[in-house]
Structure 1
Amino acid sequence: MKYVPLGRTGLDVSRVCLGTMTWGTQNTQADADIQLDYALANGVNFIDTAEMYSVPPTPESYGKTETIIGDWLSRNPSRREEFVLATKIAGPGLPYIRGGGPITGEGVITAVDESLKRLQTDYIDLYQLHWPNRVSPHFAKHFPGHITFSDVDRKAHSEQMLEILQAIDTCIKAGKIRHYGLSDDTTWGINEYIRLSDEHDLPRVASIQNEFSLLHAKDWPYLIENCVHEDVAYLPWSPLAAGALTGKYIDGARPQGSRWGMEHRHGLFRDTEHVNNAVKGYADVAKKYGMTPAQLALAWCDRVDGVTSTIIGATSLDQLKEDMDAFDMLLNDDAMAEIMSVFREYPVPF
């Protein structure tokens, strides 16, 4: 396992981050125990969760994943120091979480305390804002004309961000969290948080996790360039495009118990004809080089300049082993050329 700095935090994290959002709906406590034990035994020292999980998000599933991790920690308290634990506060829009309102300073302080209780730990290594209060070009809102920026009240959002930063500072000084990061945000969001932290002597943003894969590479190169030069760790989530890049949904297939067979909050916006054709192309390349489609996609993601640690999730131990093995696989120049040939044909398939 390779390890890299997590921004400017002084923490080193594994190139593989264990995502946990299926724990509580598709996975049981026993499943989670097995995955945690395997990941830690094989060098993973970075685990990501969120108060909103498990998924799909519902009032009933809220907090379940953190509770499962907390249960494991209650039985393995001496192992807490073995890994960097990241969680997230939900942004606006879910009525059963703080009334669906925006992230506020008061909300941060409350949510941190509630996450600590569920996780059964005294501190959170990386506390992330799951999505910003303003509408951002994520979750299929990245095409021109879908959202507008010119009518956004920048001053109001900047004031909200300052309030959030001040609450994060309070939590850091209390020893409840160590560092903070963003998720589903933009270059402007990163830089505004940096500006505010510099201006007001407040904690500096450590990381950002955004959706990034062969099917959804909108952050390359501009946002990732910004991360590299500002020492902000870039953490891809959904590197398999919600399972599409495994090939299991080709031509409308829906394996029993799979995520695409469940109701999605934003709909199945990744299910397009272009996605289907792109995945077929990547699957052909993977077969030629003796890899599974999932391994090809993960090995490619790991190779992208600027990527810090890739968040992977699995619903079975076999899937987890397959995905982790990808990070020991090398893509030679010929394989990369063939991958990019497919990419150029389907650069923005959803």
Structure 2
Amino acid sequence: MQYSRLGSSDLQVSRVCLGTMTWGKQNDQADADAQLEYSLNQGINFIDTAEMYAVPPSADTYGKTETILGNWLAKNASKRKELIVASKIAGPGISYIRGGGDITAEAVIQSVDASLQRLQTDYIDLYQLHWPNRTTPHFGKHWPGQVSFTDVDTLKHSNQMLEILQALDTCVKAGKIRYCGLSDDTTWGIAEYLRLSEKYSLPRMVSIQNEFNLLHTKDWPYLVEQCVHSDVAYLPWSPLAGGMLSGKYLNGQRPEGSRWTLTQRNGLFRDTPMSQAAVKEYVDLAASLSMTPCQLALAWVNQVDGVTSTIIGATSMVQLKEDIGAFEHRLSDTQLAAIAAVHQRFPVAF
């Protein structure tokens, strides 16, 4: 396993981050325990969760994933110091989470304490804002005209950001969190948080996790460049496009128990003629290179300049082993050129 520094922090994280959002819905405690043991044995030290999980989110499963991870941590207390545990506070819009309200200072303090209790730990290594208070071009809203930036009250949101940073600072000083990060945010969000941190001597955002895969590369090059030059770790989530890049959803297939048989939310299941055509080409290309489609897609993400660690998730040990094994592949220049040729034909397929 290879490791990279997490942005401007002093943390060294594995190039593979174990995502946990299926725990509590598609996976139970025994499944999670097995995934954790295998992942740690492969050198993975970076675990990502969130208060909102399991996914698809519901009032019944809210907090279950953190609880499952916390149960494992309680049984394996000696391993806690070896892990980089990341969690997230949910943004606005979910009625059963703080009434669907914005992220506020009070919400940060309350959420950190609640996550610590569920995780059964004294500290969270990386605490992230799951999505901003303002609407951003994520979750399928990346086409022109879907988000109106001119309707945003810039000063209001900047002041909210300052309030959030001050609350995070309180948590850092109390030893409850070590570092702070973003998720599903933009170049402006990164820059504004960094500006406020420097101006007011508050905690610095060290990372951002955004949707990124061969079908959905909107962060390249501008946001990734921002991350590199601002020393902010870039953490792709959904590197397999919700499983679509595995090829298992081609031609209308819906394997029993797979994610696309569950509730659709936020336009994440983008089953279009364009995405189907792109996936078919990537599947064929992978076969010609003696790789599985998942190995091709994950190896490609891992080699994108500026990527720090890729967040993977699996519902079975077979999937997990294949996904982790993908990071042992080093794509050659010739292979990368072949992938680029497909990508150039389908630059915005998802």
- Give TM class, smaller chain: over 0.9
C-alpha displacement at 1:82, in angstroms?
1.0
The answer on 1:322 being equivalent to 2:322 is yes
Distance 1:272 1:262 in 2: 18
Q: 1:143 matched to which residue of 2?
A: 143
Q: 1:17 matched to which residue of 2?
A: 17
C-alpha displacement at 1:265, in angstroms?
2.1
Q: 1:243 matched to which residue of 2?
A: 243
Q: 2:31 matched to which residue of 1?
A: 31
Helix, strand or coil for the counterpart of 2:209?
Answer: strand
Helix, strand or coil for the counterpart of 1:236?
Answer: strand
Q: 2:108 matched to which residue of 1?
A: 108
Helix, strand or coil for the counterpart of 1:328?
Answer: coil
Cα pair 1:211 1:237 within 8 Å, conserved: yes
What letter corresponds to residue 314 of structure 2 in structure 1? A
Q: Which runs of 5+ in 1 are unaligned?
A: none
Cα pair 1:103 1:133 within 8 Å, conserved: yes
Helix, strand or coil for the counterpart of 2:150?
Answer: coil
What letter corresponds to residue 3 of structure 2 in structure 1? Y
Counterparts of 1:67-78 in structure 2, within 5 Å, are: 67-78=67-78
Q: 2:117 matched to which residue of 1?
A: 117
Helix, strand or coil for the counterpart of 1:85?
Answer: strand
What letter corresponds to residue 213 of structure 2 in structure 1? S
What letter corresponds to residue 13 of structure 1 in structure 2? V
Counterparts of 1:127-138 in structure 2, within 5 Å, are: 127-138=127-138
- CA deviations 1:132-176 (Å, max 9, x no partner) are 000000001111111111121000000000000000000000000
Q: 1:282 matched to which residue of 2?
A: 282
What letter corresponds to residue 331 of structure 1 in structure 2? L
Q: 1:183 matched to which residue of 2?
A: 183
C-alpha displacement at 1:268, in angstroms?
5.0
Distance 2:284 2:273 in 1: 17
- CA deviations 1:262-320 (Å, max 9, x no partner) are 11222454211111110110011111111110110000000000000000000011111
Distance 1:42 1:259 in 2: 25
Distance 2:269 2:262 in 1: 13
Cα pair 1:51 1:89 within 8 Å, conserved: yes
Q: Which runs of 5+ in 2 are unaligned?
A: none
Cα pair 1:57 1:265 within 8 Å, conserved: no
For the aligned residue pairs, the C-alpha RMSD in angstroms reads 0.7
What letter corresponds to residue 49 of structure 2 in structure 1? T
Cα pair 1:183 1:209 within 8 Å, conserved: yes
Distance 1:38 1:232 in 2: 29
What letter corresponds to residue 62 of structure 1 in structure 2? Y
- Give me the TM-score of the superposition, normalised by structure 1: 0.99
Distance 2:332 2:207 in 1: 29
The answer on 1:201 being equivalent to 2:206 is no
Cα pair 2:242 2:268 within 8 Å, conserved: no
Q: How many residues align?
A: 350
Helix, strand or coil for the counterpart of 1:150?
Answer: helix
The answer on 1:348 being equivalent to 2:343 is no
Distance 1:56 1:347 in 2: 28
Helix, strand or coil for the counterpart of 1:256?
Answer: coil
C-alpha displacement at 1:40, in angstroms?
0.5
What letter corresponds to residue 23 of structure 1 in structure 2? W
Distance 2:268 2:33 in 1: 30
Cα pair 1:105 1:164 within 8 Å, conserved: yes
- Give me the TM-score of the superposition, normalised by structure 2: 0.99
